[in-house]
Amino acid sequence: MALHQQLPIYKVAYDLFNLVTDLVRNMPRDFKQSIGAEINRECLRVVVLIARANSARDKAPYLSELIERLQVAEFLLRISCDKKLIATSKYAQAISLTGMVGKQAGGWRRSALSPAS
């Protein structure tokens, strides 16, 4: 079992968390404590769930929750972009990263659920 910090999915999720931390820092004060804090929280949970899935014997529940948290983060990012709280270019960058994490998590989950594993 590899260290979770060495996994490609972890590296992309960390980049996502790093990006949203910067995005939230530049949000207007009114939204920083509500939408911004929730975006940060969801992305942090994604990173933590990767570590938990990597060390767990039954990975599927952690990966299912990870995918759900990623969808929530995508929704919050979209509303932030629609409300002009973040730049469209930064939104596109964040969604690209969430897509990469989602694809890797989905593949990992399918692998964990297959009878051969």
User: At a CB cut-off of 8 Å and minimum separation 6, what does 48 contact?
Assistant: none
User: CB–CB of 73/43 below 8 Å?
Assistant: yes
45 to 13, 22, 50, 88: CA distances (angstroms): 10, 17, 9, 24
Which residue range forms the structural domain that includes residue 102?
7-113
Is the pTM higher than 0.85?
yes
What is the average pLDDT score of the chain?
93
Question: What pLDDT, in 10s, does the model give residues 69-105?
Answer: 999 999 999 999 999 999 999 999 999 999 999 999 9
Give a yes or no: residue 1 inside a domain: no
pLDDT recorded at residue 115: 77
User: At a CB cut-off of 8 Å and minimum separation 6, what does 30 contact?
Assistant: none
Give a yes or no: residue 77 inside a domain: yes
Assign residue 94 the CATH number of its domain: 1.20.1440.60
Give a yes or no: residue 29 inside a domain: yes
For residues 30-39, give the mean pLDDT.
94
Report how many domains make up the chain: 1
Q: Is the pLDDT of residue 4 over 90?
A: no
Q: Is the pLDDT of residue 2 over 70?
A: no
Give a yes or no: residue 48 inside a domain: yes
DSSP symbols for 9-42? HHHHHHHHHHHHHHHHHTS-HHHIIIIIHHHHHH
Give a yes or no: residue 2 inside a domain: no
Question: What pLDDT, in 10s, does the model give residues 14-29?
Answer: 999 999 999 999 999 9
Give a yes or no: residue 66 inside a domain: yes
pLDDT recorded at residue 104: 97
